[in-house]
Copies of this chain bind each other. A is one copy, B any other.
Amino acid sequence: MARSMQILLEPSEFPKQWYNLNADLPSPLQPPLGPDGNPVSPEMLTPIFPMSLIEQEVSKERWIDIPEGILDILATYRPSPLHRAFALEEYLGTPAKIYYKNESVSPPGSHKPNTAIAQAWYNKQAGVKKLTTETGAGQWGSALAFACAHVGLECKVYMVRISYDQKPFRKVMMQTWGAECVASPSMETKTGRDVLERYPDTPGSLGIAISEAVETAVADTTGSTKYSLGSVLNHVMMHQTIIGLETKKQLKKAGERMPDVIIGCAGGGSNFAGLAFPFVYDKIHGASIDIIPVEPASCPTMTKGPYSYDLGDFSGMTPLLPMHTLGHTFVPPPIHAGGLRYHGIAPLISQAIVEGLVNPRSIHQLECYSAAVTFARTEGIIVAPETSHAVAAAIQEANKAKEAGKETVIVFNLSGHGLMDLKGYEAYFGGELADYELPQSEIDATLQTLEGYPKPEVRRTGKW
């Protein structure tokens, strides 16, 4: 039993509070701005979100209690296992100790339900009857459908047309959990009708789908329909910290010391934040940890995008957020890690980058698939294309440890399985995948759209 064991937690060891990094950032997080350039007040968000979530969004409390009702549902698949990757270590011949937190065991197959359940529950408490959202590849829409089934809410998902057509089974998943899933743009909203009139054959976009979902929520003037977002926002990051908090207890249970390296892939940033933020706390308080969010080289938000105010969506339904961004009109190449094709990154992560608390890295698609295949053939789990970025970075770090002859402790987040996304693997084996070298000129072009927006104050304390 010594070799490949999972490190589990008893239900009694389950974390009972979320960790809020906003309480500990060396410089205060700057607020979202309205179209007039003034900070958005909590009240302005009430047509979209219930007050309980708005309060979490602006809270500076370090620890926030997880309500019993949410714990009950999380406990249907949590605590998730932490694994030691003995077989991968052996294959690499590294002295590093590699651990991974396995979020793929949730019924929708990823970390997304951790916040979907919390959001659905708070909305239910607030008397909301129905949630709307958008989904691209389908991970988030599936997770929210699952969560709404648990708490008893209606759920409507606007799924980007091209994914709706290419991945019909994501729609069936949502339908099985009782949600309604329609292709976006749809004829059901003004946004959708306008787009379809001008571009009847459009493949759709996440920006359009967000606009449709928000429009549907706002249009219900009784307040019984609200909107739900699966990443980027502060409260979403916080709900995911259950991942890192469990990991800390599991490492302790395994007799392991504080890790040297923490890794997660990052699109909007929620799975990375979930694992990393509880360790960022330790870094702020003196621990020496390299904390690495990993993005695709073809969508280098963190590594090539400036820190600026920018829109969260394509068409301007959201406030301006302070974040690393490639500009909200940036359209990344069609890589298979659909969940990482976002022009910005969460404000909390952006601020942590500015402070030097986390050190982003970008990796090319082919290296990621190669790492994922190595991982499947050693550890046995077929990871999601998004997760393959974390695997690739973990292998890079393990190889560095080998060169240095150092027993580095590496922990990465296995954010989801790839069983619904095997098309990318098929393309990889068929030699049909390419690395996209993004020309600087292309990045420069969309960065110009940022010129009109205010710049957040950069207050790097320079300690890290």
A residues lining the B interface (CB < 8 Å): 1-6, 8-12, 14, 68, 71-73, 75-77, 83, 87, 105, 107, 109, 146, 149-150, 168-169, 172-173, 175-178, 372-373, 376-382, 417, 419-420, 422-423, 425-426, 429
Contacts and interface: CB of A to CB of B under 8 A. Distances in A.
Given A6-B75, A8-B11, 16 more contacts: A3-B75, A4-B76, A5-B11, A8-B9, A76-B380, A77-B380, A105-B105, A107-B382, A109-B419, A149-B376, A172-B422, A172-B429, A176-B372, A176-B377, A176-B425, A177-B380
The 7 nearest A-B residue pairs measured at CB: A3-B72, A169-B422, A172-B422, A149-B377, A4-B76, A172-B426, A5-B75
A76 B150 contact: no
Contacts of A105: 105
Nearest to A7: B11
Contacts of A10: 8
A177 B419 contact: no
Most buried by B among A71, A419, A420: A419
A377 B178 contact: yes
Contact of A1 (B14, B77, B429): B14
Contact of A380 (B9, B71, B146, B382): B146
B8 A72 contact: no
A75 B1 contact: yes
A72 B419 contact: no
Contacts of A378: 149
Contact of A419 (B14, B149, B419, B425): B419
A1 B68 CA distance: 7
A417 B9 CA distance: 23
A4 B75 contact: yes
Contact of A177 (B87, B150, B376, B423): B376
Contacts of A381: 107
A266 to B, nearest CB: 24
Given A150-B380, A177-B376, A425 B172 contact: yes
Contact of A429 (B72, B175, B382, B425): B175
Contact of A422 (B11, B173, B417, B426): B173
B177 A73 contact: no
A185 to B, nearest CB: 23
A383 to B, nearest CB: 10
Given A6-B77, A377-B178, A417 B107 contact: yes
Nearest to A113: B380
Given A10-B8, A373-B176, A2 B379 contact: no
A2 B71 CA distance: 9
Most buried by B among A14, A107, A381: A107
Contacts of A146: 380
Contacts of A77: 6, 380
B76 A6 contact: yes
A103 to B, nearest CB: 12
5 contacts: A149-B377, A168-B426, A172-B422, A176-B429, A177-B382
A184 to B, nearest CB: 20
A1 B12 CA distance: 8
A76 B379 contact: yes
A385 B32 CA distance: 47
A262 B304 CA distance: 58
Contacts of A175: 425, 429
Nearest to A16: B1
A427 to B, nearest CB: 10
A250 to B, nearest CB: 12
Nearest to A147: B380
Nearest to A4: B76
Contacts of A73: 4
A10 B10 CA distance: 8
Contacts of A150: 87, 380
